[in-house]
Amino acid sequence: MTTTRLSSVMGLVCVGCLALAGVTWAQAQAPVTARATTREYRKTIRTYPFSDPNPIATVGRIYPYFRFDGYTDTPVDREWRVVELENDYVKLTVLPEIGGKIWSAVEKSTGRSFIYDNHVVKFRDIAMRGPWTSGGIEPNYGIIGHTPNCATPVDYAAWHDDRGAHVVIAVLDLLTRTRWRLKITLPADKAYFTTESFWQNGTPIEQPYYTWMNTGIKASGNLELIYPGTHYIGHEGEVFPWPIQAGNGKNLAFYEQNDFGPYKSYHVLGRHSDFFGAYWHDDEFGMGRYSARDDKLGKKAWIWGLSRQGMIWEQLLTDTDGQYVEVQSGRLFNQAAEGSTRTPFKHHGFLPYAADTWTEYWFPVKGTKGFVKANEYGALNVTTEKGRFTVRFSPLQSVNETLQVLDGERVVFSTKLALSPMQTWSQAIDAEIPTARLHVRIGDVLEYRGEAGDELSRPLETPEGFDWESVQGLWLQGKEWMRQREYVPAQAALEKCLKKDPNFLPALADLAVVRYRAMDYQAARDLARRALAIDTYDPAANYYYALASSRLGKMTDAMDGLEVAALHPAFRAAAWTELARLHFKEGATASAGRYARRALEGDRLNVEAWRIAAVAARVRGDERAANEAIRAVQSVDPTDVFGLFESRLLAGDTSIGGELKDVVRNELPHETYLELAIWYHNLGRQDEACRVLELAPPQAEVLYWLAYLQHQRQDPSAAATLKRAVAASANLVFPFRWESAAVFEWAASRTGTWQAKYYLALIHWSRNEMTRARDLLDQCGDSVDFAPFYAARSKAFEPVSRDRALADLKRAAGLDSRAWRYGRLLVEWFIEDQDYRAALETASRYHQAEPGNYIIGMLHAKSLLLNGRFAEADQALRALKVLPYEGATEGRGLYREAQLMLAVEHLKAGRVEDGLKRVAAAREWPEHLGAGKPYPEDVDERIEDWMEAQGLERQGKGPAARTALERLAAGASRPGPGRLLSAVALSRLDRTGDATRALDAWAAATREEAVVAWGRAFFAGRRAAPPASGVGTTLEQRVVGALMQ
């Protein structure tokens, strides 16, 4: 057990788990001889920490989370909490303070780790919030990307029993207000471990649905990816063959054959398979993952590029453990980016109050030379060698079965297996069996067929001619944006759809959802009501009509809508759950309990319904029913504070502050308390809500809520609590819940201070209600003494008043002159306004104050370039050390431009040799600037080739200049601004027709008419005023324009 205080919770949990699993207590107590243990300890690990949370409210994709911007290449020794699970075959470690990652998994007979075991913790700016470190297994839920909690502490509980060792990690995802937990189990007598996911949408509206497990494995050792499939798709849904690359014939399943192109993302599909894995042929060792196919459809492999573009990340992310590869499993076929919308592989929604659970098996494979089939019993391989074939089997549990090899239905070999876990068995068999008739089976636990007939016929491309501007197409676009949490373009697409057809019912229902989320309940109700006028039984329209009516106080209409929505299976459980809540708030606890039980009939994992059932039973005095419901909640997630809090209320004991702190160990504990208190508030239970908040950390939003609830209860301490709320720090306080709007409205009406208005503005801003948000921010005035407020207000007003926005930025910088973020925002502002002198003055000042800040350092170098101070920019960049984010090339881009502009200066001054040296330097990729060089075929050096030709011609080296022109001409089919230079080179080589075609292709891809006119003049050899230099122009335009002046 992790703590003594958790022991009583875990006792309830274990009983509940068995009940839900259909296992009797007698079965659970069956004697076993093997044993698995759990222990916790602190371990010192060399760590490259992250720091510097952004205090400026940044309303957008990851709000209410904030980013961290501080990274270092100077390590420290830091203690981390480790949870270790061990049996006779496998040892696991889990780091609950680093996102709950499964950090290592070692097969004990070989001492080899079958997942990537990073011996340092090296945080780099890769995840959506910034910090991420390679290694282990990382769970991700919510929206696309590394989960917001992947580098920060999570809630957890660990224990062991006769059946195995267990640790549960759990997270409240603030982006979606969904809660997920991962139960990691190492059975007592198996050589695998399992990860059992449970994820519930505890909100009344649909949320985005994205979940992938990301597992690191080492890249060295002649690695083969064992991914059954016929094709792979990209993040945009684009389709390619698998495993043989169409263009070069390389087998992509072998890591070392991926020695071309940039980073690789392979979402492999096309065969009906339920496993995947990898095998290190040099080590005679591998790893595998298995689940029921309907649990996990997706399998992805991620590879950093094998050029320096990707290999630079080896040293950035580890000290001694080498490069890694990621093998990933997902509920959907791909990690769908925006472009995937226009393919069959769309985004998915998580229905209101829905819950999902699934289990995966992770395991080592030993001595099989690969494998062709795997499950929880073991991994099987069948290989042909010199006319014989060999069967190898690496068991994961005790196997006492008959292995048979068949030619069709004729048995040609049979033997009885009696194997212990990891006791690899192999047998060479003298038999010639055509692949089409080969059949190997081990009892009824594992079966393999040489030609399994498992190729799928699922369409991989959208029908040709599908009209995305049709009513159906526009509605689909809106739906897709909603499922990506992009509600502004979602509303625009849905309104465009309804402009074409005002009565398109699906668009009416979905736009009602968008307006409901924006807290525009009247508009949501009106849209849903219009949909009901078309179809009175439409489930979505009824459901959202009910939700909006409830918010407007129209309870009879709300109940009516929910009762009709319950006719449809997709909304039945959600409708009954909402009905349970409404009846409870009306004081009808018996009806509330009845509707909660009805919701559970359709979904026993509906935690929301169990919660309502527990409180309803407690209020009615039905202790047995209350305990049953509490145990059900705890069986799903032993770290759920509701179960602990409610069980103490049931026992009449509310002195549980210490116990809650033992359970709530995540990065933002106040959010856990707020979520629980608001849940009680939504049920009309203000006493319980107040008690929760009294136990919470005294953060500003917590105090505002407590004051609000005390006021509702006519508690005289409300005024004092409100004063505490006003006095509390606003740093990193980012309200986002719709329920909090009423709290801040109340507080703003009772105080003359700015804080409540600011917090209320953030809520409206996060709901895309910018008019109301700006009005509230304006009401705060100009005497606020909190610099992040002005930076946030500047961003809010920038689209409507740049003068006011700039004034606010300057106020922020004036209040906190040492904070680099305000300098960054000002420099970027001045660059956008082409006030390069002000940009340089500001960048120089901040760079001098923080010379080690590479973000400011790059802006300083950029400002030098924009002011024509190329030699100084070169020197600044040589002194800069950049710790990049994934895909970062900005530092190298600045370096390249500095070298080319210096080359221009030298050529114009007649220092041709110096100019050519600068051109050669421009081709380099100094890795201290954060980017490694891609493969040559992926680098566009046409501007360097053109500049080299210019220099060689000036030296009178005609043949060498012609060689440079020929290289340039060879890139004529390559898109991009360099195509103009290819056209000029073709003309110089007297290939007039090719030159004209290249010029026309460049012009067609160039939108600005002035640039096209200049380019045609340049092609014709006429002098013309170059396009305006600076922001918005291409490097090629700037360099050519400078040389022609």
User: How much is the average pLDDT of 25-49?
Assistant: 77
Can you tell me whether residue 140 is helix, strand or coil?
strand
Can you tell me whether residue 315 is helix, strand or coil?
helix
- Containing 300, the helix (H) or strand (E) segment is strand 298-303
Given a contact cutoff of 8 angstroms between Cβ atoms, the answer to whether 118 and 321 are in contact is: yes
DSSP state of 463: P
Query: pLDDT tens digits, residue range 220-277?
Result: 999 999 999 999 999 999 999 999 999 899 999 999 999 999 999 999 999 999 999 9
**CA–CA gap between residue 874 and residue 862 (Å, rounded):** 10
Given a contact cutoff of 8 angstroms between Cβ atoms, the answer to whether 99 and 174 are in contact is: no
**CA–CA gap between residue 47 and residue 118 (Å, rounded):** 11
Please spell the DSSP secondary structure of 137-186, one letter per residue: EEEEESSSSS-TTTTS--EEEEEEETTEEEEEEEEEETTTTEEEEEEEEE
Query: Over 60: is that where the pLDDT of 577 sits?
Result: yes
Given a contact cutoff of 8 angstroms between Cβ atoms, the answer to whether 117 and 107 are in contact is: no
Can you tell me whether residue 326 is helix, strand or coil?
strand
Residue 886 has what pLDDT?
83
Query: Over 50: is that where the pLDDT of 863 sits?
Result: yes
Residue 371 has what pLDDT?
98
Tally: H helices and E strands in the chain: 36, 35
Query: Over 50: is that where the pLDDT of 21 sits?
Result: no
Please spell the DSSP secondary structure of 813-827, one letter per residue: HHH-TT-HHHHHHHH
* pLDDT bucket at 1039, cuts 50 / 70 / 90: very high
CATH topology of domain 485-730: 1.25.40
Query: pLDDT tens digits, residue range 991-1018?
Result: 999 999 999 999 999 988 889 999 999 9
Q: Which two tokens stand for residue 670?
A: 């106040």
User: How much is the average pLDDT of 72-83?
Assistant: 98
**CA–CA gap between residue 627 and residue 646 (Å, rounded):** 9
* pLDDT bucket at 1031, cuts 50 / 70 / 90: low
CATH code for the part of the protein at 373-449? 2.60.40.3080
Given a contact cutoff of 8 angstroms between Cβ atoms, the answer to whether 99 and 56 are in contact is: no
**CA–CA gap between residue 39 and residue 2 (Å, rounded):** 8
Q: Are domains 373-449 and 485-730 of this chain identical in fold? A: no
**CA–CA gap between residue 481 and residue 475 (Å, rounded):** 10
**CA–CA gap between residue 975 and residue 1002 (Å, rounded):** 7
Using alpha carbons, select from 995, 988, 977, 991 the residue that is nearest to residue 1034. 977
Please spell the DSSP secondary structure of 19-52, one letter per residue: HHHT--HHHHT---S---EEEEEEEEEEEE--EE
* pLDDT bucket at 15, cuts 50 / 70 / 90: very low
Task: Report how far apart, in Å, the C-alpha atoms of 667 and of each of 102, 155, 170, 269 are.
Answer: 18, 9, 12, 37
Q: Which two tokens stand for residue 423?
A: 């006791």
Residue 806 has what pLDDT?
98
Q: Which two tokens stand for residue 906?
A: 């030298």
Name the residue ranges covered by the structural domains of the chain: 32-364, 373-449, 485-730
**CA–CA gap between residue 512 and residue 532 (Å, rounded):** 12
- Containing 381, the helix (H) or strand (E) segment is strand 378-385
Given a contact cutoff of 8 angstroms between Cβ atoms, the answer to whether 362 and 291 are in contact is: no
Please spell the DSSP secondary structure of 244-277, one letter per residue: B-TTT--BTTBGGG--SSS-EEEEEESB---EEE
* φ/ψ bin of 324: left (φ > 0), alpha (ψ from -120 to 50), beta (otherwise): beta
User: How much is the average pLDDT of 359-369?
Assistant: 98
- Strand-pairing partners, residue 164, are 161, 187
Beta strands 438-442 and 155-161, pairing class? unpaired
Q: First CA to last CA across the chain, in angstroms? A: 76
List of residues 6+ apart from 547 with CB closer than 8 A: 204, 205, 516, 524, 558, 561, 578
User: How many residues in total does the chain contain?
Assistant: 1045
Task: Report how far apart, in Å, the C-alpha atoms of 429 and of each of 218, 393, 424, 425, 433 are.
Answer: 33, 14, 17, 13, 10
Residue 84: what residue type?
E
Q: What percent of the chain has pLDDT over 70?
A: 96
**CA–CA gap between residue 647 and residue 663 (Å, rounded):** 14
Query: pLDDT tens digits, residue range 663-699?
Result: 999 999 999 999 999 999 999 999 999 999 999 999 9
Neighbours of 387 (CB within 10 A): 8
- Strand-pairing partners, residue 364, are 287
User: How much is the average pLDDT of 464-488?
Assistant: 97
**CA–CA gap between residue 552 and residue 850 (Å, rounded):** 53
**CA–CA gap between residue 646 and residue 66 (Å, rounded):** 32
Residue 1029 has what pLDDT?
62
**CA–CA gap between residue 631 and residue 718 (Å, rounded):** 35
**CA–CA gap between residue 1032 and residue 1025 (Å, rounded):** 17
Cis peptide, bond prior to residue 64, ω within 30 of zero: yes
**CA–CA gap between residue 563 and residue 1023 (Å, rounded):** 76
* pLDDT bucket at 431, cuts 50 / 70 / 90: confident
CATH topology of domain 32-364: Beta-galactosidase; Chain A, domain 5 (2.70.98)
Neighbours of 498 (CB within 10 A): 20
Average pLDDT, the chain: 94
Cis peptide, bond prior to residue 243, ω within 30 of zero: yes
In 3-state terms, the chain is what percent helix, strand and coil (to 5)?
45, 20, 35
Question: Considering just the CA atoms, what is the radius of gyration of the chain in Å?
Answer: 32
Exposed/middle/buried for residue 953 (C-beta within 10 Å: 0-12, 13-18, 19+): middle
Query: Over 80: is that where the pLDDT of 25 sits?
Result: no
User: How much is the average pLDDT of 53-71?
Assistant: 97
Rounded to the nearest 5°, which phi and psi values hold at 48?
-105, 95
DSSP state of 938: G
Query: pLDDT tens digits, residue range 816-833?
Result: 999 999 999 999 999 999
* pTM higher than the cut 0.85: yes
